[in-house]
Amino acid sequence: MSRSARPRRHRIRTLLTPAFDNLPSRAYLVLVAAAIGVFLHAAYVTRDTSFAGMWPVLVTAPLGILALPLPALVWDTPLEWFGPVLLTAAATAAGLANAVMLGRLAGTLRRQA
C-alpha cells in the first residue's frame, strides 16, 4: 500500500468514527438499515413500492429528503430498475451523515456532563 493511501484512509476513519463509537449512533444506523431493508424488499421482492420509499427518506430526514428526486432521473428509461438503487445509496449516505452528527452531539453532551 502506498504512503499516500494511508493518510486518506486515516482521515476517512477519523471522520466516520463518531457514527460508530456510541450507542445512540449505532441504534440509529440499525434503524436506517431496517428501513432500507424494508424498502429493498418491497422494491425487488414484492414489486410494490407505493409507500415503501418513504421509510428510508423519513428515517434519514432532513438529509434524506434530498434523495427524493434521484429515482426520477431513471423513470421511463431502460434503467428504471436502477431507481431503487439510487434511493438506497442516497439514503445510506444521508443516514451515515446523520449518524456522524448524532455521534458528535452525544460526544459533546458526554463531555459537558
Domain ranges in the chain are 5-112
What is the reported pLDDT for 52? Answer: 85
Which parts of the chain have pLDDT scores under 70?
Answer: 1-5
Residues 35, 50: Cα–Cα separation, whole Å: 15
3 state DSSP class of 46: coil
What is the reported pLDDT for 110? Answer: 92
